[in-house]
Amino acid sequence: MEFTVVTAEDGWTIENLLRDRWRLGRKIVHEMRMQDAVKAPDGGRTRWNEPLPAGTFLSIRTPDAKSDYVPETCELNVIHDDPHCLIVHKPAALAVHPNEPGGTGTLMNRVIARFGPYAEHVHRLDKGTSGLVLIARHPVAKAVFDRMLEEKAIRRTYVAETAGAFKKRSGTVSAPIGRDRHHATRRRVSPSGQHAVTHYDVIREDGDRAIVQLELDTGRTHQIRVHLAHLGHPIIGDVLYGGRLSGDGSYRLHAERLSFIHPFTGKSLDIEDSVRPEWLP
């Protein structure tokens, strides 16, 4: 895949762009150098350590890559699509990716069928969680978005329906999460677990139910589910963490929004899922 970028200020070199702005790893930068992957739009060669004036156009060819997902043509709701990334809606009860090579029946099987040969998810949602998933469309984008996620430059907003009336309508849960040694798939708040931070705001209460908006600083397995249960407000339908049954057997957690500065265009993206769960007011 090829795309064009424009230098934003005087004095930048190709090395600056790849290593400092996009902060790509040595391996991928070396591979791009060996493939002569950065050129002037007319095809001419540009020295990687040559300072360039602002407004210089560069043509970048990403390393060849192919994802291992088996294509599977099924319904796919694409909320945002550009040459570098996709944002797609994942229905509840659909896994993001297979757990083993050659697996099918997941979101990524659907994505690769439409957008292959390369696509990789930047983050995951639990199988029972619905909402937005960010997907990189080439290896350079995957490396950049992975770094942005790690550095909290991608804002992820969720909503959940929970049980019980909150004493505090907003707050932050900073509680480490680790495995529950008594259950193969469950997690728990544990002093020896991984650092995990969740911010919450109660946006609506109705009797013993509440709609809560949440944002993540970290992305631990089952983080929101564990932290809400730790507060004494498990998600309705999330029986793994003590929630009471919902009418349809699912649990009520939805990834409703993704916000970030696009690393390749510089534009601010604030994407809201156009598919709303029935339980949201």
Q: What is the pTM of this model?
A: 0.92
Query: HEC states along 21-67?
Result: HCCCCHHHHHHHHHCCCEECCCCCECCCCCCECCCCEEEEECCCCCC
pLDDT digits 0-9 by tens, 257-274:
999 999 998 899 999 999
**Which CATH superfamily is 156-255 part of?**
Pseudouridine synthase (3.30.2350.10)
Range 2-61 classified under CATH 3.10.290: yes
Name the one residue in this structure whose structure tokens are 């997690």.
Answer: 187
Max Cα-Cα span within the chain: 68
pLDDT digits 0-9 by tens, 75-131:
999 999 999 999 999 999 999 999 999 999 999 999 999 999 999 999 999 999 999
Structure letter (DSSP) for residue 223:
H
pLDDT, residue 249, reads 81
Query: Strand 130-136 to strand 120-121: parallel, antiparallel, or no bridges (unpaired)?
Result: antiparallel
pLDDT digits 0-9 by tens, 85-99:
999 999 999 999 999
Task: Name which of 209, 213, 211, 177 is nearest 195 in CA terms.
Answer: 177
Cα distance between residue 148 and residue 80, in whole Å: 18
Cα distance between residue 122 and residue 145, in whole Å: 7
What does R_g of the chain's alpha carbons equal in angstroms? 21
For residue 110, give the H/E element and its range: helix 107-115
AA identity, residue 171: G
Cα distance between residue 251 and residue 160, in whole Å: 9
- Residues in contact with 100: Cβ distance below 8 Å, sequence separation at least 6, in sequence order: none
Cα distance between residue 258 and residue 6, in whole Å: 25
In the chain, residues under CATH classification 3.10.290 are 2-61
pLDDT digits 0-9 by tens, 160-190:
999 988 999 999 999 999 999 999 999 999 9
139: confidence class by pLDDT, cuts 50, 70, 90: very high
Name the one residue in this structure whose structure tokens are 């697996």.
Answer: 103
As given in the structure block, the two tokens for residue 16 are 């600056």
pLDDT digits 0-9 by tens, 231-251:
999 999 999 999 999 978 889
Is 42's pLDDT higher than 80? no
Active site residue 126: yes
212: confidence class by pLDDT, cuts 50, 70, 90: very high
Cα distance between residue 201 and residue 217, in whole Å: 15
Q: 77-154: which CATH topology? A: Pseudouridine synthase (3.30.2350)
In the chain, residues under CATH classification 3.30.2350.10 are 77-154, 156-255
Active-site residue, selected from the candidate residues 42, 64, 126, 217: 126
